[in-house]
A and B are shown apart, each in its own frame.
Chain A
Amino acid sequence: MSTTAAVEAIDLVKHFGDTRAVDGVSFVVPEGSVLGLLGPNGAGKTTLVRMLTTLSVPTSGTGRVAGFDILAQPTEVRRSMGLTGQAATVDEILTGRENLTLIGRLYGLPKKYVRETTEMLFERFDLTDAGDRMAKTYSGGMRRRLDLAVSLLAAPPILFLDEPTTGLDPHSRSGLWAVLRELVQEGTTLVLTTQYLEEADHLADEIVVVDKGEVIAAGTPTQLKDQAGRASVVVTLTRAADLDRAAELMRSHSSEVHIEVGSRRLTAQAGGLGDMTRIAAVFETSGIELDDLGLARPSLDDVFLHLTGHRAEDAQDPTNEGVPQ
């Protein structure tokens, strides 16, 4: 198993005037893995991606993409990666196919390859019929898929996605997730930024949480959730009449039991799976009928709240990083 780094950020710093958009960020993305850069608006995610993809020059620090230094070998970096999302875009006046022709010419790819690959990608992204229409007539989801097709034309081993699903409806979002998972299976390394905790949880092998330009946590989704606090066992009873007795049974295993009468639900702090099986066994012998019993881990939203003291979604920073001013 190769553990070569596909992408490395080495103490990256970017200041815009007095604003420290990125303030010393380092991480390593092993080849073939998915890194999720998670953080609220204005956290510095887009600026990080712009630096790693050579669109923006770091104030200090550097990075490597496919082993090439972003400062010393920008052309090699550009040959090795694709970029899609907020910071890169499609030409609305051109048709879908013309967009790929344009990019193919700029890569200097053989015409035949561009033609064939375009049809293949359009087939895959369900754009074949819309291929000869101007991109400005496309829906949000189609536009993202076209953007992705453009980024994949040169088959880059590394793909940067800046908020790939922001503004998409749930259906388009899950469609895009499926495509991204396929790419990962084919061996593509992904670096994606997202404000959606669910998205990072869903796609990423490793998550780097950034807030105000700094890394505030890093790890696998599971590790991060464990950091935020312990899991809890959630029991839903069939009959409300059993609530008191069930609560007593659970108290013998956990000091903190929370009762929700309306939904007949009891929540007990637990250490993990072991506690859950023990509580399950107790109910088994008690004769109390259960609708459901399970282990609830804290969501990434809880993780964020725990790490930053504010929720991810309502952390609106006035200095939006999308378009650096």
Chain B
Amino acid sequence: MTAVQTARAPAARPPISPPSLLRASSTIVWRNLLHIRRMPEMLLDVTVQSVMFVLLFAYVFGGAIQVPGTNYKEFLLPGIMVQTMVFSSAIVAMGLTNDLQKGIVDRFKSLPVPRSAVLVGRSISSLIHSSIGVAVMALTGLLIGWRIRNGVADGVLAFALLLLFGFALIWLGIWVGSLMRTVEAVQGFMFTVMFPLTFVANTFAPPESMPAWLRAIAEWNPVSAVTQACRELWGNGLPAASDAAWPLQHPVLVSVAWSLALTAVFAPLAVAAFRRRSRD
């Protein structure tokens, strides 16, 4: 049987031209950014909260923490920016679960658009979300004395590494977001994972001062590699100590490798979980 000619005159139907993945995704990004504009408090996590973190650590703990070769503010800024990028996986997870829970994903699925547009759109808007946070922190940093001391190329490369790492972790967010049923569950789970992940690292304090076993974990933590890479590229402190673990000796290379590896592990898991969720 071919297409049914319905009682409604065909001329009465408007021309439907299903959008490409790119156009559909950008429409979903537009929608997600509209949410942020409507509810600027959604950005609190990466703006006010981040600034507060910077100031708290810089002025409350800063005096008590000794860092080699630089002052604590210079040491802190790259670490806290990496932390913000890591939290974009929680943002993507909560956004996705919310859309699944509220039936928005069903609405999109009932339309003739590529289904992956939901994921692509969500990922891009979460990266924009975190990037706003990184920008706010860079400005705060500049105000309190943080500087990019090496060339423009290295400076840009560090930001690119941040984005790449954020992109890798977004897959973790999509995976968790597709598996969990409520935003509260996602929030609880992600924060339980994110806090140790970003604190047991070189983000806020040099691992040299940690007990040996914890130091080993911290130095192999991907967060540490990305932080170390940013510090070196921006000229915020010395290269890793000579007795530091291998990843910290080659932070840029290891950051890229970790990002690719995390993507390779979590992207298939994420897509499979989202597909499974989408079949029901």
Contact = CB atoms under 8 A, between A and B. Distances in A.
Interface of A: 2, 4-6, 16, 31-32, 50, 53-57, 64, 66-68, 75-76, 78-83, 86-94, 98, 102-103, 105-110, 113, 117, 134, 150, 154-155, 157-158, 186-189, 324-325
A107 B16 contact: yes
Interface stretch (B107-115, B144-152, B221-229, B261-269): B107-115
28 contacts: A2-B7, A5-B4, A6-B6, A31-B6, A56-B279, A57-B279, A66-B6, A79-B16, A80-B3, A83-B106, A87-B103, A88-B103, A89-B104, A89-B106, A89-B107, A92-B102, A94-B31, A94-B35, A94-B38, A102-B27, A103-B111, A107-B18, A107-B111, A110-B15, A113-B14, A155-B12, A157-B8, A189-B6
A89 to B, nearest CB: 4
Given A67-B1, A75-B18, A78-B110, A187 B38 contact: no
Q: Is the interface of B mostly helix, strand, loop or mixed?
A: loop
Contacts of A107: 16-18, 111-112
B66 to A, nearest CB: 47
B19 A117 contact: no
Given A32-B7, A108-B23, A75 B112 contact: yes
A173 to B, nearest CB: 21
Given A88-B110, A109-B15, A188 B2 contact: no
Contacts of B108: 106
Contact of B280 (A16, A106, A188): A16
B276 to A, nearest CB: 10
Nearest to A147: B107
Contacts of B106: 50, 55, 83, 87-89
Contacts of B113: 106
Nearest to A75: B112
B34 interface: yes
Q: Is the interface of A mostly helix, strand, loop or mixed?
A: loop
B42 to A, nearest CB: 9
Interface in B110-128: 110-113
A106 B19 contact: yes
B45 to A, nearest CB: 17
Contacts of A16: 280
Contacts of A155: 8, 12-14
Contact of A106 (B3, B15, B27): B27
B8 A108 contact: no
Nearest to B17: A108
A117 B112 contact: no
A110 B14 contact: yes
Nearest to A156: B13
A230 B24 CA distance: 57
A78 B6 contact: no
A87 B101 CA distance: 10
A78 B266 CA distance: 30
B8 A188 contact: yes
Contacts of B2: 67
In the A-B complex, the 9 residue pairs with the smallest Cβ-Cβ separation, listed nearest first, are A187-B7, A157-B6, A89-B103, A108-B17, A78-B112, A105-B27, A57-B279, A324-B280, A83-B110
B1 A102 contact: no
A37 to B, nearest CB: 17
Nearest to A136: B38
Contacts of B107: 83, 88-90, 103, 150
B39 interface: yes
Contacts of B280: 16, 56, 324
Contacts of A89: 102-104, 106-107
Given A75-B18, A88-B107, A187 B8 contact: yes
Contacts of A54: 109-110
A314 to B, nearest CB: 27
Contacts of A81: 110
A91 B7 CA distance: 31
Given A79-B18, A108-B23, 8 more contacts: A53-B110, A54-B109, A54-B110, A89-B102, A106-B108, A150-B107, A154-B14, A157-B8
Contact of B38 (A2, A87, A93, A109): A93
B56 to A, nearest CB: 31
A106 B111 contact: yes
Contacts of A94: 31, 34-35, 38
Contacts of A98: 34
A157 to B, nearest CB: 4
B111 A78 contact: yes
Contact of A67 (B3, B17, B181): B3
A88 B27 CA distance: 18
A324 B103 CA distance: 12
Contact of B16 (A5, A55, A90, A154): A154
A228 B83 CA distance: 67
A68 B280 CA distance: 21
A64 B27 contact: no
B104 A91 contact: yes
B7 A109 contact: no
A12 B15 CA distance: 32
Contacts of A6: 4, 6
A108 B16 contact: yes
B18 A93 contact: no
A68 B181 CA distance: 33
Contacts of A67: 1-4
Contact of A109 (B16, B31, B103): B16
Nearest to B39: A93
A57 B276 CA distance: 10
